[in-house]
Amino acid sequence: GENVEQHPSTLSVQEGDSAVIKCTYSDSASNYFPWYKQELGKRPQLIIDIRSNVGEKKDQRIAVTLNKTAKHFSLHITETQPEDSAVYFCAAREGQGFSFIFGKGTRLLVKP
């Protein structure tokens, strides 16, 4: 089955800097990769996603890149703000099933 590794587990940046979170997956048939943001005490919310037929997707300060050959995808946040502080989860949808496999999460802290 699918296995998703996420790094780093914690990330601290200064406001205005960029943050990068990386995930690797094992199932080459996986075809959909969402990223979720979970603020303390709140539900996970989708912030961006990418499908396997696309290499990069951008939405304002957030971008996701996908390297199918290497089986890894990354979340890039530019010009970070304190409100970006949260736990970010990557996930991969199994190619032959109904399941999403999640990474363990990255706790991002943006210091003002």
Partner 1 sequence: ETGVTQTPRHLVMGMTNKKSLKCEQHLGHNAMYWYKQSAKKPLELMFVYNFKEQTENNSVPSRFSPECPNSSHLFLHLHTLQPEDSALYLCASSQDWGDEQFFGPGTRLTVL
| Least CB distance to partner 1 at residue 89 (A) | 7
| Least CB distance to partner 1 at residue 105 (A) | 7
Tell me the pairing of strands 106-111 and 100-102.
Answer: unpaired
Residue whose CB is less far from partner 1, 44 or 77: 44
Residue whose CB is less far from partner 1, 6 or 24: 6
Q: Are 18 and 105 in contact (CB under 8 A)?
A: no
| Least CB distance to partner 1 at residue 15 (A) | 27
Residue whose CB is less far from partner 1, 37 or 110: 37
- Whose CA is closest to 70, among 24, 32, 29, 101? 24
Q: Check whether the bond before 8 is cis (ω within 30° of 0).
A: yes
- For partner 1, the binding residues (CB under 8 A) are 4, 6, 32, 34, 36, 42-46, 49, 89, 91, 93, 97-105
H or E element: which one contains 34?
A: strand 32-38
